[in-house]
């Protein structure tokens, strides 16, 4: 379990070290797990009837710990409290923990249950692999728009062809363009493929070419593109997570140190070039002197 939670270059001081420490994060993760167990036990009527007050007290204690954690995490940003909101996880925690104080939410039992259940999702904050998966899903959303448009076009074109060929003979599955597209959408998962193919073969022998081409174009091509997008997004998310952890371990002045190193390297390279030019000038000067003699 990684413990680096730094969200900005200005987080320094004792509170920041406490919040980013492994012990602190392990304790909060343990409280989240305990809260999840309490919420699960409350779903049993027999346990609620016998230990209802104890479970309620345990839930209140967990919530109090979460409030203290949120306050400490906010205070760890020192003189730049606005940096607290630069982290999506901080904003998520603020909504989940502070949402119960919003007017209208506290009186709504359904919203309170949702917020209580959402506290369990905070455990993802302390799991680096889970953070990478979530970042992968988020980064995959923009490219998925093109996949959705491509899929719709393929479904519409093949749906029109299928409706024209099988519509009259098989009205339940191909009778309208919407039914034909729905049938093709189900076939994306190759579910009941032999059944649909056998029914279509009874109408025309060209059904084999129709279904095989659709499977090759839609099922294989689209899924491969989707897998490619997900893999690319996952690699990008892992690189970003590794960079964030490296910056957190290097301290708040990591960027400044990197710039100083780059300047030193540039000066060393410039000095080497100057020395090389001086040597060349010296050699040329000697050759000119020999020629004059």
Per the CB < 8 A criterion, the answer to whether 115 and 100 are in contact is yes
Locate all alpha helices (DSSP H) within 80-176, ordered by sequence: 88-98, 109-121, 128-166, 171-174
Distance CA(137)–CA(130), nearest Å, equals 11
pLDDT for 265-293, tens place per residue? 677 777 777 777 776 666 655 554 555 55
**Non-local CB neighbours of 207 within 8 Å, separated by 6+ positions:** 165, 166, 197, 200, 201
Which pair of structure tokens corresponds to residue 162? 């299928």
* pLDDT band of 253, cuts 50, 70, 90: very low
Task: Report how far apart the first and last C-alpha atoms of the chain are (Å, whole number).
Answer: 77
How confident is the model at residue 161, as a pLDDT? 92
Asked if the model's pLDDT at residue 252 lies above 60, the reply is no
Q: For a pLDDT cut of 90, what percent of the chain falls above it?
A: 11
Per the CB < 8 A criterion, the answer to whether 1 and 73 are in contact is no
pLDDT for 3-21, tens place per residue? 444 444 455 578 888 888 8
* 107 vs 71, more confident: 71
Which phi and psi (to 5°) does residue 7 adopt?
-120, 0
pLDDT for 137-193, tens place per residue? 777 777 778 888 888 999 999 999 999 999 888 988 898 999 999 999 888 888 888
Q: What is the mean pLDDT of the chain?
A: 78
The CATH code of domain 14-125 reads 1.20.120.350
| Nearest one of 253, 251, 275, 271 to 263, comparing CA atoms | 271
Which region among 192-196, 223-227, 266-270 has the lowest average model confidence (pLDDT)? 266-270
Per the CB < 8 A criterion, the answer to whether 16 and 76 are in contact is yes
Asked if the model's pLDDT at residue 62 lies above 60, the reply is yes
Which pair of structure tokens corresponds to residue 271? 């000095």
User: Which residue reads 């204690």 in tokens?
Assistant: 61
Going 27 to 28 to 29 to 30, the CA torsion angle's sign is positive
CA 77 to chain centre: 24
Domains of the chain, by residue range, sit at: 14-125, 131-250, 263-293
The CATH code of domain 131-250 reads 1.10.287.70
């Amino acid at each position: 379990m990684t413990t680096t939670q730094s969200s900005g270059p200005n987080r320094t001081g004792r509170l920041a070290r406490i919040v980013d420490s492994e012990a602190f994060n392990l304790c909060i993760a343990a409280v989240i797990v305990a809260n999840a167990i309490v919420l699960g036990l409350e779903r049993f009527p027999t346990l609620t009837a016998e230990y209802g007050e104890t479970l309620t007290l345990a839930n209140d204690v967990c919530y109090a710990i979460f409030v203290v954690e949120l306050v400490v995490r906010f205070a760890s940003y020192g003189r730049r409290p606005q940096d607290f909101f630069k982290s999506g996880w901080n904003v998520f925690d603020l909504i989940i923990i502070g949402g119960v104080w919003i007017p209208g939410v506290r009186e709504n039992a359904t919203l309170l249950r949702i917020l209580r259940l959402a506290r369990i999702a905070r455990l993802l904050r302390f799991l680096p692999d889970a953070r990478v998966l979530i970042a992968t899903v988020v980064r995959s959303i923009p490219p998925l728009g093109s996949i959705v448009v491509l899929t719709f076009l393929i479904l519409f074109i093949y749906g029109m062809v299928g409706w024209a060929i099988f519509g009259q003979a098989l009205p339940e599955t191909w009778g309208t363009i919407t039914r034909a597209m729905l049938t093709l959408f189900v076939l994306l998962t190759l579910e009941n493929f032999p059944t649909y193919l056998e029914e279509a073969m009874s109408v025309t022998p060209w059904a084999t070419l129709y279904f095989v081409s659709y499977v090759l174009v839609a099922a294989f091509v689209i899924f491969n593109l989707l897998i490619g997008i997900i893999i690319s997004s996952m690699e990008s998310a892992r690189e970003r997570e590794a960079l964030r952890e490296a910056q957190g371990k290097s301290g708040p002045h990591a960027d400044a140190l990197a710039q100083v190193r780059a300047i030193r390297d540039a000066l060393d390279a410039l000095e080497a070039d100057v020395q090389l030019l001086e040597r060349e000038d010296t050699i040329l000067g000697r050759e000119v002197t020999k020629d004059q003699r």
